[in-house]
Structure formats: structure tokens, C-alpha cells
Chain A
Amino acid sequence: MSERIVVDPITRIEGHLRIEAEIENGKIKDAFSSGTMVRGIENIVRDRDPRDVWAFVGRVCGVCTSMHSLTSVRAVENALGITIPQNAELVRNIMLATIYMHDHVVHFYHLHALDWVDVVSSLKADPAAASAAAQKLSNWPNSSEGYFRDIQNRVKKFVESGQLGIFANGYWGHPAYKLSPEQNLVAVAHYLEALEWQRQIVKVQTVFGGKNPHPNYVVGGMPASINLDEANAINAERLAFVRKLLEEAKTFVDQVYIPDLLMIAGVYKDEWGKIGGGVSNYLAYGDFPTNGYNDFENYLMPRGIVLNRDLSKVHPVDAGSPDEIKEYIYHSWYEYEKGKQAGLHPFEGETKLNYTGPKPPYEHLDIEKEYSWVKTPRWKEQAMEVGPLSRLLVAYAAGKEPQKSLIDSVLAQLNLPAEALFSTLGRTAARGLETKLIADWALEFYDQLVENLKSDSRMVNHENWDESKWAKTAQGFGLSEAPRGALAHFVKIENSKVKNYQMVVPTTWNGSPRDELGNLSAFEASLIGTPVHDPKLPLEILRTIHSFDPCLACAVHLYDEKGDYVHQTETF
């Protein structure tokens, strides 16, 4: 006897996601992931100046802010044959490292933690015991008994006020919460500290990009000039400010985020290190160039694919090849000229909006037919997971350091086999581990920038800025690793205007509906077999879905090759 449940909205994510699941004998038997909002940004950038597009597509997402702008300038530079100066590459790397640290920490504490941490339980904690536990975890100075007592009193008074705000109707007291009251209190304290910390680290992007969210980029380099002898440019004072922010970020990651992650992993590993694995293929484009964007062999995060969880081999990926990546729409609210079965490479991407779902308000989607605004991408017809876990698995399989040693040491510390990585907990842990590495890399990039500035201050390559130098037609693609996973932008330029723009983003891979053959994408596959204590309380579903850090605004966009929107088949 199966029961159909709906979780909509899935909160603590970016965007609008709906999960419908069938539960049988206390376990999830089948699951359906639906993106329920569209905007059409790919269509909006058509016929525009390719040098402007980074600003438009930057607005795809304000959470992983700067990712789409970076990927867009890479795509346009690729199409126009522009190589950026070393300083600009390093500044981009520093800004990329910044958004990783911000995004991952905010995800862990403010989007994901409440799945594992029972806020109300922290009221029962003994502050002295919480202090002792915290001091055992790390050297972070905010760990006295008095500190935790103050935090506890603060939470107590908040709860007593009767206005619970964002904590209202949470799943407090659910038997799936396993942390001790003291561990919960430590985590709640760090939830508040992370809220304060997160607004500091983004200032690195503000120094170089002028604002955050949505800092500025420019095709050919970076907009902020460096002049060590000028008050009105990036000078030694601005650089010192960046250095300080990066050092403080590393301290927070090392002394708060990682110890909390290991604490939570230690408690939940036996159950959540075994479930939630989902699809068994992992894709990463790689990022953090050390010898220029075009030399992907020298990225700190390597490029490649792991198939069938076989960690002995890394397969190559070519995003520009029409034989490798295709997008399907069998269960999505679109039409292709060649029919619902066809798959198209993004360069030839074609989508006609075609809503066939129920008229709102509705109870259920028609899961036999179309049920999402997200398309279904496949690599050589296979579903791929993207994100922190994929990046670390590709690095691990490639024997890449320092990733491999870090993973081995953490597995040893938690007394877990490598197979535990293929799980909900593995995904959440991978996010933390890469943050630790990136916090180190950010400081290395900073040192390299300072070193390079001794002989070279260029930030922009003007060579092909002027449109009179462009070929009549050009095409290119930009690849990156966004915090949520592999991101690709494809651009075709004709007569100095954007002819065609396509984005294949992380949550398109992870959150898409199944394909025509019924092969599930990552969200859906990861939920199968998950035990659900009480179907009315979707805590277990939230744990696994949040482990991907979904971003739905990114995942959904529509585009029509001819610029026509087809509505004749709409149901209302």
C-alpha cells in the first residue's frame, strides 16, 4: 500500500522546488522532482552585445552570485579568442574562492543545519558540558561556559516570546534528530556566528567587483585597475584588507565549519553514510586555473567523469562535442521540432515553452507526462551527479593532491570506507572538505597576485574588445565549477550580436526529471529507499535534497531558437 506525499515548497534552497514521493512500508519507493518557475533569461540575451551578457546572466542567481558572470565572460572570451592577463586570472580565482567559502558556509549553517540540529533541544543543554565539548572540537575562542549560557538564554527567551519567526513549525523533537543537547547548543551558537561571519567574507568580492551580491566582471579581464601609487585604484591598503578577510575566513572554516561538520558526521554516519547515494556517475569540469583558463590540465580542481562509482578511472569530457552532452525534454514543459524524444547539444538548443500541467491551484502533477520546467541533460545518455562530491571523487580517482590525502585522512578519522562517500552524508562532507582546501588556495592566489604585481600590473587584455576585430560569426563556451557543480555557458555570435545563448547548470543535472527510458536524475534517484518515519513530516527528504544545495533559478531557463513562444497547446 503506497502513499503519495507532496513537499512544496522545499524551503532553505534557492528557487522553487517541489518533490512528490511515493512511500511504501515506511520507505520512499519513487520520487519526482519539479522546478515550478521559469523566467526566460537565455531568450532575453539574444541580439544583445556579447560584452553585456555577463550582467544579464549574472542575475540567473544571486546566491552563487558571480558564478554565471564568470562563466559568461569565459564563454565570450573563448568565442572571441581573448586570453586575460595573469592578474585578472588571479583576481577571478580569489573571487571564485570567496563565493565558494561564503556559499558553502551559508549552506551548511543556514540552509542545511536545521535538518540535523534540533534548536529546541539546545535548551536542555548543560552549558558547561557544551563548553567542554566545543573546546575538544577546536581552538575557536568563543567556547566558554558563559558564552554558551548566554546563547542558550537568548534562544530560551526567543522561544518564550511566542513569535518563533523562521523557526516556527520546524521538526523539533523528531526522532531522526540524534545530536545531544550540548551538540545542538554548539551548532546553534555557530549558526548565529556564521550569520555574522558571512557578511565579512563577501567584502573580498566588493573590493574587486564593487558590490555583492552581483559584483562586476568585464570581458577581457577585471574592471578594477591596480595601481600601487594611486588612491583611486586597488593599492596596498585594499590588498591588505583582502588578505585580512581571507585569513579570517580560513580561521573560521578551520576552527568552526570543519569541526562542526565532523561532529555532525560522527553522529549520523552509520545511517546517512549508507543512503542517499543516487546515480552512480559523477561529472566535473574542474576549475581554479593555475596556468590560464585554457590549460585545464593545470586546474586545482581536475576535470573528468567517474562512471559506476569506479574510482580507478577518470573518463575525459568534452562539453563542446555534440556527441557528449544533450538536453532532453521528455518530462519537461517544452517542445522540440524533432519531437519529445530528441536530444539536442546546447549549441543547437531549441525549446518551445509548452505548459501541459494542471491549472493552478493543483494537488498533484501528472508524473506520467511532463512535470517540470527543468530539462534533462545527459552525458552520452547517462545521468550525472554534479557538485562538491563529484569534484572530490574525480580528484580522488585521478590521485590528485591535496584532495586525495584529505579524503583518506577524514575517512580514517571517521572510521568509514570510501563507499560511504556515495551518500547523503558524503555529499555534505565533500562540501566542507573542499571549502577547507579552497580557504588555503585563496591565500596562495593572493600571494601569487602580490608577486606578479612586482613586474606586471595589467588587468585587461584590450586586443579583441573592439567589435570591428570580430569575425562575422563566432562561437564558444565557458566552463566552470560553481559551488553547486559543473556549469557551462554556450554562445553563438553573429554580426557582433548574440545569436544564441544556452546554459547547462548544476541543478539542471541534479534536479531534472527522469528521461524517456525512466532513468532517474540525481535528486530523484537519491531519495529511493530512504526511510521516512512520519510521511507528514518530510525531514528525511529535506536532508537528502538539501545535501545537493539545490538552486532552481539556475536550473530553469527557456530559450527558443526562432524567438517565438508557442502557446497554442497550453491547457488554459
Chain B
Amino acid sequence: MEHKKLTVYEDCLKKGVSRRDFLKFCASMAALLGLESTGVAQVVEALEKKSRLPIIWLHFQECTCCSESFVRTSHPILASLLFDSISLDYDETLMAASGEQAEKCLHDTMANSKGEYILMIEGSVPTKNEAYCCIGGRSALQIVKEAAAGAKAVIAWGNCASSGCVQAANPNPTGAKPAKKVISGKPIINVQGCPPIAEVMAGVVVHLLTFGTIPQLDGLGRPKAFYSRRVHDSCYRRANFDAGLFVESFDDENARKGYCLYKIGCRGPSTYNSCGIIKWNEGTSYPIQSGHPCLGCSEEGFWDNTPFYERRPALNAFGIEATADQIGLAVGAATAVGIAAHAVATNIRKKDLIENEAEPA
């Protein structure tokens, strides 16, 4: 079959998507990406001119929650457009082919689209013994190194691929490692969360399609567009924190009034994510809105920052921004790489540091 690649826009036209719907999609993506109105034109232009991006999506030590989140991405046309604007050439969850036919899909894309395809990784890679994760008789480590070699860039979906997630929690029985520890020489975008928010995943893909570059990243390799705000700073319950109004236990009088969950363990002050802004499942809710403290799932090592229901460092005064930042600093320093206070964090993020040093397995 002839490989004639159409631009996303041409493809949409062929699939019966109207220009009006196409522009609506571009505008909503521009809004998600935080672009100003002039940026809409940029998105439109990019999607009109570029052909569908080949994707290899690998699954290793994971639970498939990232894939599940990705398929929930919202605006009606967006779901269908993403399905069609990328060419998902290899993805074990959705692909029709199995066995040898599936492997052929992988090898064809690696050979025919060398240097063009995006490698998406869901799951960590075991290193204590390569045989802890094998597909088609080859180990995850062998597969990921080979697939990364010809990739244009790498997207590490979720906490597993970004920092190892639950299987890397103490005592990390299988030596589970994130993508950045087993791949070298490639830009890696860590789209954090367990799982990441659907529209964040879609937003990162559209950024790649639109600009042909990777988005600006923070010090942990996370796209700034979605991980530059603490959940605490964008939380609709923040006013309760500032006023010193706290839930003391689940479903108490204060819980029923929607007070702040900080004292029953909320990690919002040390967690960078878009939960309070984009929310989950088309803006339906997010953990705090539904009465549960933030677990901090977009942060490295959050599984060992436990017990979850234990209040974070003691708090003596409330009500002013400086205090909140100090709390964030104290907790953040303990959990990640010292990104906490706004000023410090901003400066680090400006460097666009991509952590990309491979460690020997």
C-alpha cells in the first residue's frame, strides 16, 4: 500500500470534519497550551501543513492507566482527531494485530520512519533481571533501547515512565527504573501523574504536532504548561487554608463544608500539576473537590512520602502566601529536588533542564 502522508487538516477534511470544527479544535488546544489568541493561528497552520505523526507506544511495568486516561481525552472532536492526527503504529492495548504481525508493525515504523517517530513509553523498566519484563521473547530493556535509538523524541507517560511509580517504591523488588535512567541522548518529556490528566497528555501531543519542538520543561522534565503551578495554588479550597479552616477527619462537620484537607494529609502544597485548573474527566472534579487529599502523584517518590493521611510538617501560622510557600519549601525539599518556593522554582525551570543521563542498568 502506498504511503502517502496527508496533513492533519487534509486528513480531517477527508474524514468529514468541517473547517469550523477543525478551527474549534485548534482554539481549544491553543487555550489548553496557554497560547494567546495569535497562537491559535499557529496551531491552525501547523495542523494544516503537517502529516500524521508516527507513534510507537511501548508498555512495560505498568497498569495501563495512562492508556486508559489518554482514551478519555475530552472534546468530542478531539478524541477522534487525536486518533487520526497521529499514526499510532504500535500500541499493544489497541492494535488489531498480535504476535508476529504486531512485531512487524513495530519494525516497519522503526525502519520506515527512522528519526521521525515519537517513542511513547508507559511503564518502568526492570533492571535487576531483564527477564522481569519480556515481550515477544525480548526484554523491556532491549526493546526500549532499540526503539529509542531511532526516535525523534521520547514521551514518558505517567509516574512509571517518569520516575518509576509504585513498583519503584521501597524496596523496589525488580529494580524498576524510569525512561530517563535507561535511555540516553534523546530529549525526554516526563508527563507526570498516576495517571496524567487526559487533556494534559493530548496537550503535549498537540504541542509536538504544532511546533515541531518539545515544550518547555521544568527541572524534572515536565512540560511547564501543565506542571508549573502547585495544586495548592490553584485549589478552589485555598481560601479555607488561608483562613485556617481545616477538615480534621473524613466526613466531619468541616469536610461537609468543603474546608481545606491539609491536616488530613493533602500533598497539594508540594505537588505540581493541573488538577485544580483543568480538573479530571472533562472538568468533572479532582481529588480535593471530591473530598480526598491530593496524594502528590505527579511527584517523584510520592509512594514513599507516606503515610498518606499524616499531616505534613507542623504549621504554626496561616493566612499569608509566604507561609504557604515555606510549607511548600519544607515538603518539596523532602520529596523532590528542592523545587518549592516560587522564585527558586521559576529560576530552575527557566533553564529548561532535561534530565537525560543514562545510568548503567
Contact = CB atoms under 8 A, between A and B. Distances in A.
Interface of A: 6-16, 18, 36-41, 43-44, 48-49, 51-52, 55-56, 59-63, 65, 110, 114, 119, 150, 153-154, 157-158, 160-171, 192, 195-196, 198-199, 202-203, 206-216, 218, 220-221, 223-227, 230-233, 241, 353, 355, 357, 359-363, 457-460, 462, 465, 536-538, 542, 553, 558, 563, 565, 567, 570, 572
Interface in B94-141: 94-102, 104-105, 108, 126, 128-140
Which of B128, B255, B256: most chain A CB closer than 10 A? B256
The residue among A213, A460, A553, A572 with the most chain B CB atoms within 10 A of its own CB is A213
B256 A233 contact: yes
A469 B88 CA distance: 53
A99 to B, nearest CB: 11
Contacts of A210: 280, 285-292
A359 B142 CA distance: 12
A232 B290 contact: no
B52 to A, nearest CB: 5
A360 B194 contact: no
Contact of A202 (B130, B195, B281): B281
A570 B105 contact: no
B49 interface: no
Contacts of B62: 62, 553
Contacts of A224: 290-292
A563 B171 CA distance: 9
B72 interface: yes
Contacts of A16: 59, 133-135
B126 to A, nearest CB: 8
B250 A63 contact: no
Contact of B258 (A59, A208, A230, A570): A230
A154 B80 CA distance: 11
Nearest to B66: A62
Contact of A363 (B99, B133, B137): B137
B307 A48 contact: yes
Contacts of A198: 71-72
A199 B72 contact: yes
A37 B133 contact: yes
Interface in B244-288: 249-251, 255-258, 275, 280-282, 284-288
Interface string B298-317: 00000100111100000000
B166 A214 contact: no
B6 A161 contact: yes
A214 B194 contact: yes
B308 A52 contact: yes
A16 B132 CA distance: 11
A231 B289 CA distance: 10
B68 A213 contact: yes
B173 interface: yes
B228 interface: no
Contacts of A170: 96-97, 101
Given A55-B295, A206-B280, A462-B249, A542 B98 contact: yes
B129 A460 contact: no
B96 A169 contact: yes
Contacts of B68: 62-63, 65, 213
B258 A63 contact: no
Contacts of A171: 96-97, 101
9 contacts: A11-B102, A36-B135, A44-B170, A59-B194, A161-B52, A162-B3, A211-B286, A225-B291, A353-B173
A212 B198 CA distance: 10
B103 to A, nearest CB: 8
Give the interface size bracket for B toward A: 35 or more
Contact of A168 (B89, B165, B290, B292): B89
A56 B61 contact: no
Given A12-B95, A206-B281, A227 B84 contact: no
Nearest to A49: B307
Centre residue among A52, A56, A165, A216 by max chain B CB count within 10 A: A165
Contacts of B138: 360-361
B223 to A, nearest CB: 19
Contacts of A213: 65, 68-69, 195
Given A12-B93, A165-B88, 12 more contacts: A11-B93, A36-B134, A52-B309, A60-B63, A158-B14, A165-B89, A166-B91, A167-B96, A169-B97, A211-B275, A212-B280, A553-B62
A421 B166 CA distance: 39
Given A210-B287, A570-B129, A166 B63 contact: no
Contacts of B52: 161, 163, 165
Interface string B54-89: 100001111111111101111010011001101111
B351 interface: no
B137 A361 contact: yes
Contact of A166 (B95, B167, B292): B95
A202 B68 CA distance: 11
B281 to A, nearest CB: 4
Q: Which interface residue of B96, B102, B250 has the most chain A CB atoms within 10 A?
A: B96
Contact of B98 (A10, A55, A214): A10
Contacts of A361: 137-139, 142
A233 B251 CA distance: 10
A360 B129 CA distance: 10
Contact of B65 (A40, A150, A214): A214
Nearest to B129: A355
Contacts of A51: 307-309
Contacts of A48: 306-307
A168 B95 CA distance: 8
B65 A62 contact: yes
Contacts of B20: none
Given A168-B97, A196-B79, A232-B237, A216 B65 contact: no
A40 B174 contact: yes
B237 A460 contact: no
B98 A538 contact: yes
Contact of A56 (B71, B104, B166, B284): B166
A572 B132 CA distance: 12
B173 A43 contact: yes
CB-based closest 4 A-B pairs: A232-B258, A62-B65, A40-B173, A170-B96
B220 interface: no
B94 A110 contact: yes
B16 interface: yes
Of B165, B174, B297, which is in contact with the most chain A CB atoms at under 10 Å from its CB? B174
A369 B342 CA distance: 58
B19 interface: no
Contacts of B67: 62
Contacts of A241: 284
B11 interface: yes
Contacts of B86: 165
B176 interface: yes
Contact of A233 (B169, B173, B258): B258
A150 B15 CA distance: 8
B1 interface: yes
Contacts of B54: 163
